[in-house]
Copies of this chain bind each other. A is one copy, B any other.
Amino acid sequence: MPSKPRPPGREPEPEPTSPAADAILNAAEELFARSGFERTTIKEIARRAKVNSALLYYYFGDKTTLYRTVLTRLVLGLRQQGRLSAARPGDVPQVIGGIVEAQRQMLLRHPRAAVLLFREMIDHNAAHAHGLIQEIAAELFRPACLAIENGKRDGTVRPDVDSRFAAISTIAQLAYFMLARPAVRLLMDTGADYPAPSDLAAFGRHAADFAVHAISVAPPRSRTTKKRAGKESGR
């Protein structure tokens, strides 16, 4: 795209990218997630992407734009893969299971995404990612709230449960599990590689169970003790 190499606009465009630009974005995503925006240097990204550091300016104008582009590309990718929308309507255990499963999938396949978005929240108060967080909220929080409200109406959820608070508590579990890794490792008394995929899955099952029991009026049919309810094989 020789005619519009350096878009002067503000919103980064997730356009057809050249191989070099792609390499830059991949390297940047990796490094931004690992070290955060300020600690990651342009030169470091260039080295990792095996391109000249001046190229980053040719393609992205400046460091901030590169960062924003990484962020949007990430969420765009997540959306395309439908990772965020695993929550379809249904009864409360189904919806909560779907939401936790969506989280798990996202953490599993895009471990950097979670860190990146969280960093963005506490580093910049989500200033660079308002739209993206909105998207996630819509895909995760809102279905949870709806399902819980429905559950309250049909009597399966305790009437004194605040649906939005409950949604937060539900989602908080897996997020914290991954983000507070050092603390979790300490508690679980495990090594640096602890949250292996199987551990993540185990905690995910716990989290869904925990949340369902937390809001239900009567203990629902246990899904983890003897036989698991037919786990809808994702994808």
Contacts and interface: CB of A to CB of B under 8 A. Distances in A.
A176 B166 CA distance: 12
Interface of chain A, main secondary structure = helix
Contacts of A168: 173, 176-177, 184, 187, 203
A222 interface: yes
Number of copies: 2
A88 to B, nearest CB: 20
Interface stretch (A49-57, A59-67, A213-221): A213-221
Interface residues of A, number: 61
Contacts of A160: 222, 224-225
A39 interface: yes
Q: Which of A123, A202, A214, A216: most chain B Cβ within 10 A?
A: A214
A183 interface: yes
A182 to B, nearest CB: 4
B121 A119 contact: no
A167 interface: yes
Contacts of A159: 225
Nearest to A36: B123
Contacts of A137: 183, 186-187
A126 B159 CA distance: 41
A187 B168 CA distance: 9
B121 A169 contact: no
A134 B38 contact: no
A133 interface: yes
Contacts of A125: 181-182
A141 interface: yes
A211 interface: yes
Contacts of A194: none
Given A167-B187, A186-B137, A218-B219, A121 B180 contact: yes
A171 interface: yes
A202 B214 CA distance: 17
A52 to B, nearest CB: 25
Given A119-B122, A214-B210, A218-B219, A176 B177 contact: no
A141 to B, nearest CB: 5
Q: Which 7 residue pairs of A and B lie closest in terms of their CB atoms, listed nearest first? A: A172-B176, A126-B182, A214-B214, A165-B206, A160-B225, A210-B214, A172-B172
